[in-house]
């Protein structure tokens, strides 16, 4: 199982970024997948995740209404569209999966992690 996250980079305040996570070694529409972030000096926190058990999604309160998780099964890719970016969104963002169809916002539930992509503070 491998996950490759990308898409981080400089952005203007209030701007947008789309992160991508290309997965391999498992069927994307079978296992739950999530996005997490870790800011300097802080614990890793759940941002959003997608459950294949019922198609539901989870968003952390801090990102509701601004971030959207989506996927393209044909491309084995999960996306995180981030709009109206704020300085507090600055972090390294990770995608992860667990061998379960339901997603959880807790990082320690996840078995496999991508390498992370940096989203710096909006310039």
Q: Tell me the pLDDT tens digit for each residue of 43-85.
A: 999 999 999 888 899 999 999 999 999 999 899 999 999 999 9
What average pLDDT does the chain have?
A: 92
Share of the chain above pLDDT 90, in %: 77
d(CA 106, CA 27): 22
Q: How far apart are CA 30 and CA 40, in angstroms?
A: 33
Confidence (pLDDT) at 122: 72
The candidate with the shortest Cα–Cα distance to 91, out of 43, 37, 46, is 37
pLDDT for res 52: 84
On the question of pLDDT at 123 being above 80, the answer is no
């Amino acid at each position: 199982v491998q996950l490759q996250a990308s898409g981080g980079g400089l952005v203007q305040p209030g701007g947008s970024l789309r992160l991508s996570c290309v997965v391999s070694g498992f069927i994307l529409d079978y296992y739950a997948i999530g996005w997490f972030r870790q800011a300097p000096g802080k614990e890793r926190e759940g941002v959003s995740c997608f459950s294949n058990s019922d198609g539901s999604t989870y968003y952390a309160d801090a990102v509701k209404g601004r971030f959207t998780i989506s996927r393209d099964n044909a491309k084995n890719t999960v996306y995180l569209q981030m709009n109206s970016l704020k300085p507090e969104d600055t972090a390294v963002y990770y995608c992860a999966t667990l061998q379960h169809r339901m997603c959880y916002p807790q990082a320690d539930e996840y078995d496999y992690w991508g390498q992370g992509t940096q989203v710096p503070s909006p310039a």
